[in-house]
DNA sequence: TTGAAAGCGGTACCAG
DNA sequence: CTGGTACCGCTTTCAA
């Protein structure tokens, strides 16, 4: 771990010269250039990116903050991000919040401390209290020296926050899923295994669920909305309890695929035929949906594109802020669509998601 | 993004004083202390961790470099890492190499530039050429100022490198899997879908495969070793081709579970009964093993522990290097065991991995 | 108890 | 084309 001083000494030149060689080799005689390069080679020197970033306010790094890599939802999102990032030579660093708001704040601060030029964020900042408002505001004020560190939010947007986002319409997606269950699959007693109550995305999906029932003249029963927590086990537990309690239902709409897989297993264990006795549909269309039996119907979300588009948008913002321009924030909404498999429709052919895995 | 100067100005004190307040509040009058704290609050100041790290050579961050989060193998590993890291308040940052050696080198350099105090590395540095040797050597020489940045390698060790590692015995695991197929499942024509040829772990598994066949007096046929690339699709493709080419086999040992799932699907498509006509066993025992049908037998690897132990070891090394001590490197080997499910044994009960997901 | 100044590893401006 | 120097944001002697 030699530093630039060592290199300068070894090459017998000034630090400035070494710096020139490292950064562009312009305006330096080929003679010195060679000397410097040899010194670098000999010492195994590599420049300290952090010190450099401290000085020039540009790092070429981008942070992606997600809740957990265990949510396989994020895997293709990350691929999309990487694909775009590779084109421009950005480095991607990932961090997990495990749904802790405190951790999220700390990570944002950490990364904003000259680590990165931009942040892609799948936030778990729920609620509308003061601290959250301050936090969201701070997201717009991140900067190193005078240039802004832009933030693009994934999956959902902070309303009227001025923070860019790439999202899907969760309410609409849920509405379509439930309508599908009613119209195409002919079901009426539909249980919804939801996300944690305070999660915005979950609330939006619940709204879609309610609206679909209403529009089809089906009574809404509050006890048919059971709270889950993203994990397979929570879906399993929720449905196991419902079944054991003798709850009557002919369909299950889960707010994500993991919970749907859990629901599937609970049905299997309790001898409930899927889809005959209960149709099951998930949300996200992760790879696991297509490898379970029966294959799981789901709502396809363009995950790869979500990541790729988020990165592209982030780039626009970074370029603008580098050029000293300000550009108006916007929210980009991506379309979803129903993927029909065996868990809702006997004999449906399985579209092989596992190829993406 | 106020900086310490702004705070000092606002509070009407010197920068030194602000720094004292931030770091321990010792040796500063309560009067000034209050002023400073208010200024910090007013300005929403948070200290620039990077600049600080540049100065004190300690960041409280740890980097985890893996090939890809798409290898769900790493998910529990990361959980293990996080669990230990949370105890001590370390931040974890993750980066993916996508199996590119160049990227790996760059990432190591980046992180070693004062980003982090230690690195956990699942390397893809294969081969024995000079550049790799230099690289491995450099891994032992990472430092900020005078204190070392220790590295702990995951899954496999660089031989005689002095780089610490937490590993499993891939050869032994493979040997046991194949022996199981022969002895318990009574098979003899065993195809092995391997990892890419240049991957050390793959080579070790192939050795185990060969040795098991030899020890049981079964001829080794080179065309029964088919190269895969970790992905589900590669397993699918490999077996599809083998079947279409009329290759005769009664068992498949895949070097990871993803490929095994692919193999399962290929068999299903081609009407080959599992386990009757072909027993299938994977490697790693990731959650997906237990949600497919038939449930996949596999080699259990203590992934969570792998991560947790790696982090603990890294801590020891970091503490030592902070204290100016040098401690001898070591390689920790964890045990594996066969998990029997339906893909090798009809009616075997499914141990529900999906609860971990 | 407080402030001034040096320095962590770099870059960039300015003068020669 | 080359070197000296100030400075990025923060910590830490050293004096006062």
The alpha-helical segments, DSSP class H, found in chain A are 4-11, 15-23, 30-43, 49-56, 74-88, 101-112, 130-139, 170-183, 200-215, 232-244, 257-269, 288-291, 303-322
Q: What is the mean pLDDT of residues A211-230?
A: 97
What is the Cα–Cα distance from A70 to A73, expressed in whole angstroms?
A: 8
Q: Is the pLDDT at A244 greater than 80, yes or no?
A: yes
CB B108 within 8 A of CB B119: yes
DSSP classification of residue A75? H
Residues 6+ apart with CB under 8 A from A47: A4, A22, B113
Q: What is the 3-state secondary structure (H, E, C) of A115-154?
A: CCCEEEECCCCCCCCHHHHHHHHHHCCCEECCEECCEEEE
CB A264 within 8 A of CB A164: no
What is the Cα–Cα distance from A50 to B116, expressed in whole angstroms?
A: 11
Kind plus residue range of the DSSP H or E element containing B308: helix B303-322
Stated pTM of the model: 0.95
Q: Is the pLDDT at B20 greater than 80, yes or no?
A: yes
B261 interfacial to chain A (CB closer than 8 Å): yes
Q: What is the pLDDT of residues B232-250, one digit of tens each?
A: 999 999 999 999 999 999 9
Q: Where in chain A is the domain with CATH 3.40.50.2300?
A: 60-168+303-335, 170-301
Q: Where in chain A is the domain with CATH 1.10.260.40?
A: 4-47
- Give the pLDDT confidence score for residue B128 in this predicted structure: 78
What is the Cα–Cα distance from A306 to A74, expressed in whole angstroms?
A: 10
A44 interfacial to chain B (CB closer than 8 Å): yes
* Cα distance from N-terminal residue to C-terminal residue, chain A: 39
Mutation target vs B (from A51, A63, A110, A228; most B CBs, 10 A cutoff): A110
CA–C1' span, B51 to D13, in Å?
18
- Give the pLDDT confidence score for residue A355 in this predicted structure: 66
- Give the pLDDT confidence score for residue B323 in this predicted structure: 87
Give, in words, the CATH class of A4-47. Answer: mainly alpha
CA–C1' span, B107 to D10, in Å?
25
Kind plus residue range of the DSSP H or E element containing B164: strand B164-168
- Give the pLDDT confidence score for residue A146 in this predicted structure: 82
Q: What is the mean pLDDT of residues A259-285?
A: 95
Q: List CB-based contacts (under 7 A) with strand D.
A: A 13-17, 20, 26-29, 31-33, 51, 54-55, 144-145; B 3-5, 15-16, 19-20, 22-23, 47-48, 51-52, 54-56
Q: Which residues of B touch A352 (CB under 8 A)?
A: 265
- Fold classification of A60-168+303-335 is Rossmann fold (3.40.50)
Instruction: Please state the length of chain A.
Output: 357
Per-residue CA distances from B215 to A88, B218, B268, B356 (Å): 52, 8, 31, 36
Residues 6+ apart with CB under 8 A from A79: A304, A307, B70
A131 interfacial to chain B (CB closer than 8 Å): no
What is the Cα–Cα distance from B356 to B178, expressed in whole angstroms?
A: 27
Mark yes or no for CB contact B113/A50 under 8 Å: yes
Looking across all nucleic acid strands, the nucleotide with the smallest C1' to CA distance from residue B55 is C8
Strand partners, B154: B166
- Give the pLDDT confidence score for residue B222 in this predicted structure: 96
Q: Is CATH 3.30.70.20 the right assignment for the domain spanning B170-301?
A: no
């Amino acid at each position: 771990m030699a530093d630039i001083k060592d290199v300068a000494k070894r090459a017998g030149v000034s630090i400035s010269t070494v710096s020139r060689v490292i950064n562009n080799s312009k305006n330096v005689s080929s003679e010195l250039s060679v000397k410097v390069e040899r010194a670098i080679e000999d010492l195994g020197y590599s420049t300290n990116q952090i010190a450099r970033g401290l000085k020039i306010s540009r790092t070429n790094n981008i942070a992606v903050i997600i809740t957990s890599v265990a949510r396989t939802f994020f895997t293709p999102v990350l691929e999309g991000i990487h694909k775009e990032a590779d084109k421009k030579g950005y480095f991607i660093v990932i961090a997990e919040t495990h749904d802790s708001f405190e951790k999220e704040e700390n990570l944002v601060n950490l990364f904003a401390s000259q680590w990165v030029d931009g942040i892609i964020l799948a936030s778990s900042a729920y609620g509308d209290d003061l601290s959250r408002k301050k936090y969201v505001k701070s997201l717009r004020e991140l900067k190193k020296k005078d240039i802004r560190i832009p933030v693009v939010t994934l999956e959902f947007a902070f309303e009227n926050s001025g923070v860019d986002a790439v999202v899907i319409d969760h309410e609409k997606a849920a509405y379509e899923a439930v309508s599908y269950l009613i119209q195409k699959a002919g079901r009426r007693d539909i249980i919804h295994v939801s996300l944690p109550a305070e999660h915005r995305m979950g609330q939006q999906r619940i709204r879609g669920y309610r609206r679909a029932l209403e529009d089809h003249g089906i009574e809404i029963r509050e006890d048919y909305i059971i709270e889950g927590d993203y994990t397979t086990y929570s879906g399993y537990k929720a449905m196991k309890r419902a079944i054991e309690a003798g709850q009557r239902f002919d369909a299950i709409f889960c707010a994500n695929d993991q919970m749907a897989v859990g629901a599937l297993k609970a049905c299997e264990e309790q001898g409930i035929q899927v889809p005959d006795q209960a149709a099951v549909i998930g949300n996200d269309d992760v790879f696991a949906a297509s490898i379970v039996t029966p294959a799981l119907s789901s709502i396809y979300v363009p995950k790869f594109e979500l990541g790729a588009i988020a990165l592209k948008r982030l780039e626009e913002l970074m370029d603008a802020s580098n050029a000293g321009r300000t550009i108006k924030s916007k929210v980009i909404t991506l379309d979803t669509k129903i993927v029909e498999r065996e868990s809702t429709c006997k004999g449906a052919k399985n579209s092989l998601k596992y190829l993406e895995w």
